[in-house]
Amino acid sequence: MELTSKKFKSELILEIQACLQLAVPLVITQILEAGIPLLDGVMMGLLNSQALAAGALGAVTFSTLASVCRSVLSAAGVSVANAFGAGKIDQVSRATGQGIWLAVTMCLPVMFVIWHFDSILLLTGQEESNVLLAQTYLRSIVWGFPAALGFCILKEVSSALNRPQFLTVITVVGLLSNAAANYLLIFGKFGFPVLGLAGIGWASALIFWLNFIAAASWICFDNYFKKYQLHCALHQFDKDMFIDIFQTGWFLGLQYGAEIGVFTVTALLMGWFGTETLAAHEITVETESFVETVSIGISYAVTMRVGQLRGQNDLKGASRAGFVCIALITPVVSIVALIFWLFPNYIVAMYLDTSNLDNIEIVKTANSFLAAGAIVQILYSIQTIAAGALIGLKDTKVPVLITMFAYWGVGLGGGYLMAFTFGWGAIGLWLGLVLGLLMGAVLLTWRFYLLTTELSYSRQQPHAVPFAERLVEKGGAGSMSL
């Protein structure tokens, strides 16, 4: 018994170290990547209020489409992690190649949509002057889209191979360079033309390419990656692997779309309660979004870690990795939740003057939203890591259904009932998000436990076909196949 206990503690410590080794640089990289649009927003505000409004339309459009594509491409990282865990060096190269081909396949149609997105914005009732200004931003930043996806693939591959650290350095340099490039191109300093809002788009496009070139050069010349022969990736098209990555990635993109869609609809419903309520909602959402980058970074780490252990057929280890990451993030987000509860005025003060009597209603409403947002933060972190662990198992179809049910059925449906039917007002929409995320966190965590436990049992009992594996077999494309 004592020997078993020591072995368990030793395995637990090793897993914590492995998770942190991946998570820390990925969290930092995620925060820095989130800093680029944040910095762009600040620079837009230096121009004028119309540039800020138009730039926000363009930035949201670009970041949403890019994030959906990155979600699809994350399936390639899982395939690389599986191959790495199994010690199949040739498959590492092939999976990398299929990820690159998938990125190339998505580039042209998405760039076409971005180029002509002004027509879509006009259909939503946006002011024509704002749309025309947003178009100048979109038609400049669009040229950096291929590099943004290329950098995403290289980040997935390097993370799957346990070497994400240098990408953090690249992202730091990129963020600083982005600030300088924005300044030069917006205001036309040192002989550069005055480009205004379009200059922010060109600056971001330039940084995307510099980051991609730096990452590609590092992977090509670093001795650690030479044995995987990643430079041969583009010459090894594998139809079956390409389809497998696309099928898995498609559901990941759909899952992300379901998540971002419910927050978009919630923002629209908030607008029915007035400008002050919508402003308070935006303050809460912006604060939440920045803090969530930590959870998303750890989610990337657990995806790669579980993917590696799945490649080794170590499902007990995969289960341990998933729950270790949940245990690591919970104290962190709990501290953040306490800050939301105890010091909401300080948070609101970062966005507006809380001493101004005209802002009293916004401050009061934002304080109540932040209290609900504190609970949302905890539940979002748990469900995001559980979802990331399931991605590592290449189980995506059922999690998409769970996410849609939790977010749209329980979250948005429950929020609408509380806000409008029961008459609780805008806070009802936030309470609906709490219920939806609670449902998602419970169901996704339960599914991860079920799959790893029963599939681990099936390895020990070759003739047994447990309930979890039957679920996977019925799931079809996009579900885990072992």
Cα–Cα distance list, 221 to 57, 77, 160, 172, 301 (Å): 40, 20, 18, 21, 24
- Please give the torsion angle defined by the CA atoms of residues 439, 441, 445 and 446, in that order, rounded to the nearest 10 degrees: -10
- The reported pTM is 0.78
Determine the pLDDT at residue 353.
73
Higher pLDDT, 126 or 410: 410
- Quote the Cα angle for 55-62-404, to 5°: 120
Determine the pLDDT at residue 313.
85
H helices of 271-359, where? Answer: 275-311, 315-342, 344-349
Determine the pLDDT at residue 480.
40
- Which three-class secondary structure state does DSSP give residue 422? coil
Higher pLDDT, 195 or 386: 386
Q: What percentage of the chain carries pLDDT values higher than 70? A: 88
Determine the pLDDT at residue 140.
93
Average pLDDT in the 115-122 region? 85
Q: Specify the range with the lowest mean pLDDT, choosing from 144-158, 174-188, 457-471.
A: 457-471
- Please give the torsion angle defined by the CA atoms of residues 88, 89, 91 and 94, in that order, rounded to the nearest 10 degrees: 180
Higher pLDDT, 460 or 411: 411
Average pLDDT in the 426-436 region? 93
Q: Give every CB contact of residue 46 below 8 A, 6+ residues apart in sequence.
A: 186
Higher pLDDT, 202 or 41: 202
Determine the pLDDT at residue 462.
46
Q: What percentage of the chain carries pLDDT values higher than 90? A: 22
Q: 155-189 pLDDT, tens per residue?
A: 988 888 888 888 888 988 988 898 888 888 888 88
